[in-house]
Amino acid sequence: MEKEIEVSSVGNHGAPKWVAGAAIVAALVALIGLGTAWWASTYAQDTRAGLSNDINTLKQGYSKDMDSVEQRLAAAEKSNVGLQDDLTTVTKRLRITQADLKKARDEAQQIREDSAQKLAAMNTDVQQQLAVKANASDVQVVSGTVTGVRTDLDATRTDLEATKENLNMTKSELGTLIAKNHDEVEELRRLGERDYIEFTIQGRNKQEKVGNILVELRSTNPGKNQFNVSLVVDDKRTENKSRNINQPIFFTTRGGKQPLEFVVNQVEKDKITGYISIPKSVQQSASTSTGSGR
């Protein structure tokens, strides 16, 4: 009887109540942990997806920006190359212009020196002629008084006066005399230093040959005494705009050292009148070339 009571007592105290409560708490904690882990995993995936989208967006924007920058760099490089080409061209043209200017100045200086020598020689020759002709045999004497001189002495003095008039003519920047009409052209011819070809061109946009060049009258402005003309020299065309009368246009021909002068003395409606002044050396060179060709 006592053994039964002990067994019964032991059976009632073998499973305390707090054990069941602890199991329940552990189960709840586990569920909460699983829920938290699931939420954290879901949040991490969403965050990762959002970051991935942001990174892709940034990459696309960066790629577009890089493309834009590369395009701008390419355009800038192309513009830089164009500017360098333009600078090179301008530099070459400037060198050519400076070379032509130096050549023109040297030729002008040579022309001035040659003209001074010729004028000095002419003056000396005239003085000698006057001294020779003004002797006793050239002078008529009546009762010890000089009454006149011979005709040839008068002619010599007339030539001297003509020479003085020539010296009063307008000179170009290269030192050559500029004739303003036909009579002055004739006076320059008599000096014999250059050859002169006179011309009259009437009508616009028609090429006319004057000497060895082609002249094409573009337009005229009689009110301002100005004209536009195109010159073709050795198959090279040059346009000359708003040029004034008696203002020489200088140009050189192939193989020539001294410049030729194109001068217009008179401007009318669709009509110009003037001359071309040619150095003797150029004329002789052209004649020699023509003779060799034959």
What's the pLDDT at 151?
55
* Number of other residues whose CB lies within 10 A of the CB of residue 260: 25
In which band, very low, low, confident or very high, does the pLDDT at 81 lie, cut at 50, 70 and 90? Answer: confident
**pLDDT above 60 (res 89):** yes
What's the pLDDT at 49?
85
Q: State the Cα–Cα distance between residues 68 and 8, nearest whole angstrom.
A: 92
**pLDDT above 80 (res 232):** yes
The helix (run of H) or strand (run of E) holding residue 147 is: strand 145-149
Q: Kindly tell me the sign of the dihedral angle through the C-alpha atoms of 29, 33, 38, 39.
A: positive
The answer regarding whether domain 177-293 maps to CATH 2.60.98 reads yes
Q: State the Cα–Cα distance between residues 156 and 129, nearest whole angstrom.
A: 8
**pLDDT above 60 (res 207):** yes
In which band, very low, low, confident or very high, does the pLDDT at 210 lie, cut at 50, 70 and 90? Answer: very high
pLDDT-wise least confident of 140-144, 173-177, 217-221, 223-227: 140-144
What's the pLDDT at 244?
95
What's the pLDDT at 157?
62
Scanning the chain, the segments in alpha helix (DSSP H) are 2-13, 17-133, 151-167, 182-191, 280-293
3-state DSSP assignment of residue 214: strand
Q: State the Cα–Cα distance between residues 98 and 78, nearest whole angstrom.
A: 30
Q: What is the DSSP string of 16-83?
A: -HHHHHHHHHHHHHHHHHHHHHHHHHHHHHHHHHHHHHHHHHHHHHHHHHHHHHHHHHHHHHHHHHHH
Structure tokens of 179?
């004739």
pLDDT, tens digit, 9 for 90 and up, residues 249-279: 999 888 777 899 999 999 999 999 999 999 8
For the chain, percent of residues with pLDDT exceeding 70: 70
- The reported pTM is 0.44
- Domain locations along the chain: 177-293
Average pLDDT over residues 180-193: 90
Burial class, 273, CB count within 10 angstroms (exposed 0-12 / middle 13-18 / buried 19+): middle
pLDDT, tens digit, 9 for 90 and up, residues 187-197: 999 988 899 99
Supply the mean pLDDT for the chain.
77
Q: State the Cα–Cα distance between residues 272 and 199, nearest whole angstrom.
A: 8
pLDDT, tens digit, 9 for 90 and up, residues 94-135: 666 777 777 777 777 777 777 667 667 776 766 666 666 555
Residue whose pair of structure tokens reads 């008039």 in the numeric block: 165
Q: Which residues contact 226 (CB under 8 A, 6 or more apart)?
A: 220, 242, 243, 244, 245, 267
